[in-house]
Structure 1
């Protein structure tokens, strides 16, 4: 089975044409005009990284029924991925109004603030996710620490890290946090990440190391790794890739 074709970053954040076509499933979903089919279409389009089209599908679902907070949360995520910040925030707010648990919105709002360069607010949002299971906690510690690195504040959540945490598939976050804690030399972690055939894992670990290196006074090494991870563009919608892209385009790292 061939891997599904995915839309490029330039087609979603830039002006490049999107060449990805609908699957047969999407064709039939477009033929249906009920709420669940519209939501399913949005999910399928987001799975192809066609976030602009996913937004249109989710909005069409909400024109049928606008009382489901999960759809607003998915719509917000699509808006956030393509950097439509006001729209994303409005949708997260609406999700809360419709009954979403504040803690379930805390992490994506932390990402919202981080990508906006509002690092103190981001740290507060990430911290609000705790207590939680280890799989989410390791991501929270990673992003909270990177937020603190930007502000120069104390990365107090690092004390919550334990080597025996059951992080599930979030091993890339754990490797980066191990560097933050001084348990693994950054050179060893970077080498392991660069040898990893999984682009998502590599990008997560390398972006964490970039933040660490910038904080310990090694900006050139950080810059080199940042450009290397950006070459792993197959996972561009992941938060770490978007943050790295943001750093380059905001002038923080060139």
Structure 2
């Protein structure tokens, strides 16, 4: 009898554990539920060890920086609500931290809570005014392990994205124009010009869209934003749209690359007036697995508008 009761108890614990792991971490704009992505045991172990180290550092010293890294590590495991909670607690303790507002705003975008994201980025922008430029270390380093962005750039870039995703294109354009002043390398310039180009087209400012492409020199040094460079080359007629969709399957970054490049291609078809092709590409993007990618979220938003 005791073995039977023990077995039932263990089964209940197991089911409880399964239920916990099958809770959605994000609900898309179309109402779909998304869950933690599948990972290899090696990937899972690495992320968990990094989280454990960040948590240990935080428990020893709950500094502003340790709040940030604790929250970021939770987010890399797709624990977005937990990350937001950590950033919120950090803001309560460090109310002048524009970095904490920047990171919480990012995860509000991931969670499709654009109004909250906009409020956070606007607050961060006001707090960072007149402050020294802060380089931002990458949580997921690029191929050269060289950080290319700053906190100030990321505040304005993500604010522009939040406006764009919400469909407030005039505010998005003004924000991306300001963001250009924080672009101190080609990686940042290319990403910002790309979104500004698309935003100008949303506002039917075709001449402005063409002019902004001229801000990118012919020869550029790119470390991590190859996908955005491919999109710009497509706008210039240097690469056919089909080439951007030919993402190498099976590569670790394939889903992210397709979400990014796919949205650009779909939007390009919209600009050309080919709504049917645009919808087809957007559907392919949202059929992917990288639901936290900005291109994925943007494709969700476009499909809702095109219904």
Taking structure 2 as the reference length, the TM-score comes to 0.69
- CA distance in 2 between partners of 1:9 and 1:242 (Å): 20
- CA distance in 2 between partners of 1:138 and 1:223 (Å): 25
Matched, 1:42 2:71: yes
Q: Structure 1's 97 and 119: CA in aligned 2 closer, same or farther, altered over 3 A?
A: closer
- Gaps spanning 5+ residues in structure 1: where? 1-6
Residues 57-96 of structure 1 aligned to structure 2 (within 5 Å): 57-96=86-125
115, 127, 138: which one aligns with 2:190: 138
Partner of 2:247: 193
After TM superposition, give the deviation of residue 25 of structure 1 in Å. 5.7
Partner of 1:4: none
User: Conserved in 1, the CA contact under 8 Å of 2:247 and 2:257?
Assistant: yes
String of CA shifts for 1:74-110, please: whole Å, max 9, x gaps: 1111122212233222322332333256655321111
Q: Structure 1's 16 and 222: CA in aligned 2 closer, same or farther, altered over 3 A?
A: closer
- CA distance in 2 between partners of 1:120 and 1:55 (Å): 28
Q: Structure 1's 244 and 9: CA in aligned 2 closer, same or farther, altered over 3 A?
A: farther
After TM superposition, give the deviation of residue 116 of structure 1 in Å. 0.8
Partner of 1:161: 216
After TM superposition, give the deviation of residue 149 of structure 1 in Å. 2.2
Which 4+ residue blocks in structure 1 deviate beyond 4 angstroms?
7-10, 14-22, 24-28, 100-104
Q: Structure 1's 104 and 204: CA in aligned 2 closer, same or farther, altered over 3 A?
A: closer
String of CA shifts for 1:146-176, please: whole Å, max 9, x gaps: 1122222121311223342112221111111
Q: Structure 1's 62 and 183: CA in aligned 2 closer, same or farther, altered over 3 A?
A: same
- Any idea what SS the aligned residue of 1:129 has? helix
Q: Which stretch shows the higher mean deviation, 214-223 or 194-203?
A: 194-203
Q: Structure 1's 137 and 53: CA in aligned 2 closer, same or farther, altered over 3 A?
A: same
- Any idea what SS the aligned residue of 1:89 has? helix
After TM superposition, give the deviation of residue 56 of structure 1 in Å. 0.6
Q: Structure 1's 8 and 229: CA in aligned 2 closer, same or farther, altered over 3 A?
A: farther
Taking structure 1 as the reference length, the TM-score comes to 0.83
- CA distance in 2 between partners of 1:202 and 1:57 (Å): 31
Partner of 2:267: 211
Partner of 2:166: 116
- Any idea what SS the aligned residue of 2:179 has? coil
Partner of 1:176: 231
After TM superposition, give the deviation of residue 8 of structure 1 in Å. 9.3
- CA distance in 1 between partners of 2:110 and 2:97 (Å): 21
- CA distance in 1 between partners of 2:283 and 2:249 (Å): 16
String of CA shifts for 1:86-144, please: whole Å, max 9, x gaps: 32223223323332566553211110110110112212211222242110111111111
Q: CA RMSD in A?
A: 3.0
Query: Bigger radius of gyration, 1 or 2?
Result: 2
After TM superposition, give the deviation of residue 194 of structure 1 in Å. 6.5
Count of matched residue pairs: 244
